[in-house]
Amino acid sequence: MSDQKNKISQKPQHDAEQEYNFLKSCLVPEREQEAEQQLLLFLEKFPEFALAHNDLGVISHKLGKLENAGIHYRKAVQLTPANITFRKNLADFIFVIEGHPEKAMIHYHEVLKLNPKDTEALMMIGNLCLSLGSTEEARNFFNLVSEIEPGNIDASLALEKLDESAST
């Protein structure tokens, strides 16, 4: 009997994806509380579905439920560590909300292992370096962004600010 129960409780991934695709169409802006409830119900059935955890993290964050947001961002990364979006969401959360730039840096470096030319991650590492007082290290990251994307306005502005502060 317990083998049959295990087979029933193990929903195929395909079923989860189909149901989630339907659920995603129901998730609309300004209806975050309803979306939160739908995602919680979905995760009761499919607790290992990383995308739902990430999306619930985003929605919990919007609702101001920061502890829940952190839990679901972390679960998404735990389930799918190679997903760059999940890593960036968690890193942003750790840096901005939890105030731990060193811990956030670990996740951005993981993003760069997966995609060394990820300019968002490079910019964030540069900003983290600034927050930690490492201006020359920050400059190196902003320069890397400029090399990868010569027209990157954010990198240009960051380098201009560093030049201005160095000349004063």
Rounded Cα gap, residues 168 and 81, in angstroms: 43
Domain ranges of the chain: 1-80, 81-168
| 81-168: CATH topology | 1.25.40
pLDDT band for position 14 (50/70/90)?
Answer: low
CA–CA–CA angle 9, 28, 81 (5° rounding): 50
Give me 116's structure tokens: 């060394």
**What is the arithmetic mean of pLDDT over 30-54?**
93
**What is the arithmetic mean of pLDDT over 127-153?**
96
pTM value?
0.84
Residues 98-137 pLDDT 10s: 999 999 999 999 999 999 999 999 999 999 999 999 999 9
> Which of the listed CATH numbers 3.40.50.1820, 1.10.10.60, 3.30.70.980, 1.25.40.10 matches domain 1-80?
1.25.40.10
Per-residue pLDDT for 11 more than 70? no
Q: 1-80 and 81-168 share one CATH topology?
A: yes
